[in-house]
Structure 1
Amino acid sequence: MAVSAVGIAAVFVPPYLTGSSFAPIDRSIVGYYASLVAHAGPAGLTLVLGPLQFVPRLRTRYPRLHRIVGRVYLVSVVAASAAALYAATVSPSGFPLQVAFSLLAAAWLYTAAQAYRTIRRGEVRLHRIWMIRNYALTFGAVTLRLYLLAGLALAKLVPSLTFRDVYTTAGWAAVLGNVLIAEYFIVHRILAPSARRVQDSSDRGGSEEAAAMRASISSRIGR
């Protein structure tokens, strides 16, 4: 995940900054290119920094670094999502893709706010869950391009597929696919094991309580 994130950031962010992109940029739209540049810089930073926050050894051995990187990451998400909301609004890529990118930017901003709110309250477990959701949306920049490359390869075999068709499908697949994978991971790797531990603890507690009651009764009978 980290390697693909760094690779996508290295390959696709610089072209935005130099005025080119894999998708056409209509410079006649007021502020469109500027919003893409304002989005690409901090978004690329979030792609690179995000994987570091999920390494347990780094969190444990360097907690201060974890907090500093986390603040930089969240500030970058706010900047990138604000620029993305404007870019999605004026994008010439069509209404379906505008909706997909607007939802992505709004969810990206919301999950970042929730991650910040929970860690400020000391709710570490919830903070981790919200950060998983947030980085899943960040990683949409990677899956979008993978789906797009696959779609363009398919378009060579199906001439009726246009670039807009492929781009729109890739955009929605990146958003929905990453969200579903993140929720599956949260349920099966975080919530389910926690629920089992609570159940096991409850069962042990019940057994110990029953044993104590039996011992108390036996002692009374013995007396």
Structure 2
Amino acid sequence: MIKLTWQYIPFRSDVAFLQIKQTEVTQIPFYITFFYLHVYSAIFVLLAGFTQFNSGLLKKKPVIHRNIGKLYVFTVLFLSAPSGLFIGIFANGGFYSKVSFVTLSVLWFYFTLKGFLTIKNKNITLHKAFMLRSFALTFSAITLRFWKVILVYLFQPSPMDVYQIIAWIGWIPNLLIIEYYLFNQSKK
């Protein structure tokens, strides 16, 4: 993911994924701004999220956990999810891809907000559940690309078909895995 993000340094509007988004770049006000907000902030929350589920860090350095968590929440709520929502409206793959990416952004915002509010109310169990859901959606940045490689390698579908499929399988299985995990934890 860092390598993918690195392609966009310095700011350019004609590199990598943006090469196929030239209509949006040239005709949609602020598209490029929201795109870069999303790319740069999402890589941060992806890296920050990996630190948050380390029980050693949580027990030995709770202040670090709390501060990284606050940065994660702030970044998702004010940068990553809103910019994802905006660029999701213009997603490749047509209506179904757009619905998927917009839904992903709304759920990402919602789960992150609920995770923040539940810890403010000292409900650690719900906080953990909502933050696991939030990070499952954050992690879709990786799983989406993983599925894209697998689908193209195995089936060679058309590019728009790929977008329509990965738009959904990039995040729904992640969320189902977390729900299954939470269900099993609740039975213990």
TM-score above 0.5: yes
Query: CA-to-partner distance for each residue in 1:75-99, whole Å, 9 max, x for gaps?
Result: 1111110011111113344111110
Aligned-pair RMSD on alpha carbons? Answer: 1.5
Q: Which residue of 2 aligns with 1:76?
A: 75
Greater shift, 82-91 or 25-34, is seen at: 25-34
2:147, 2:166 within 8 Å by CA — same for their partners in 1? yes
Query: CA-to-partner distance for each residue in 1:183-204, whole Å, 9 max, x for gaps?
Result: 011111x2111xxxxxxxxxxx
1:133, 1:182 within 8 Å by CA — same for their partners in 2? yes
Q: Give SS of 1:122's match.
A: coil
1:114, 1:127 within 8 Å by CA — same for their partners in 2? yes
Amino acid at match of 1:114: K
Aligned residues: 180
Q: 1:133 to 1:49 in 2, by over 3 A?
A: same
Does residue 191 of the first structure (1) align with residue 183 of the second (2)? no
Q: Which residue of 1 aligns with 2:26?
A: 28
1:101, 1:171 within 8 Å by CA — same for their partners in 2? yes
C-alpha separation in 2, matches of 1:148 and 1:33: 23
Alignment of structure 1 residues 29-68 onto 2, 5 Å: 29-30=27-28, 31-68=30-67
C-alpha separation in 1, matches of 2:182 and 2:60: 24
Q: Which residue of 1 aligns with 2:86?
A: 86
Identity of aligned residues (%): 27
Moved runs in structure 1, 4+ residues, more than 4 A? none
Alignment of structure 1 residues 29-178 onto 2, 5 Å: 29-30=27-28, 31-78=30-77, 79-156=79-156, 161-178=157-174
C-alpha separation in 2, matches of 1:175 and 1:114: 19
Q: Which residue of 1 aligns with 2:175?
A: 179
Amino acid at match of 2:5: V
Greater shift, 167-176 or 29-38, is seen at: 29-38
* TM-score, length of structure 1 as denominator length: 0.76
Amino acid at match of 1:135: F
Amino acid at match of 1:181: I
C-alpha separation in 2, matches of 1:44 and 1:151: 24
1:100, 1:175 within 8 Å by CA — same for their partners in 2? no
CA shift, 1:22, in A, is 4.0
Greater shift, 10-19 or 49-58, is seen at: 10-19
Amino acid at match of 2:27: I
Q: 1:92 to 1:148 in 2, by over 3 A?
A: closer
Query: CA-to-partner distance for each residue in 1:146-202, whole Å, 9 max, x for gaps?
Result: 01111222344xxxx2111012101101121111111011111x2111xxxxxxxxx
Q: Which residue of 1 aligns with 2:6?
A: 14
CA shift, 1:12, in A, is 1.7
Query: CA-to-partner distance for each residue in 1:118-138, whole Å, 9 max, x for gaps?
Result: 000000111001111000000
CA shift, 1:15, in A, is 2.3
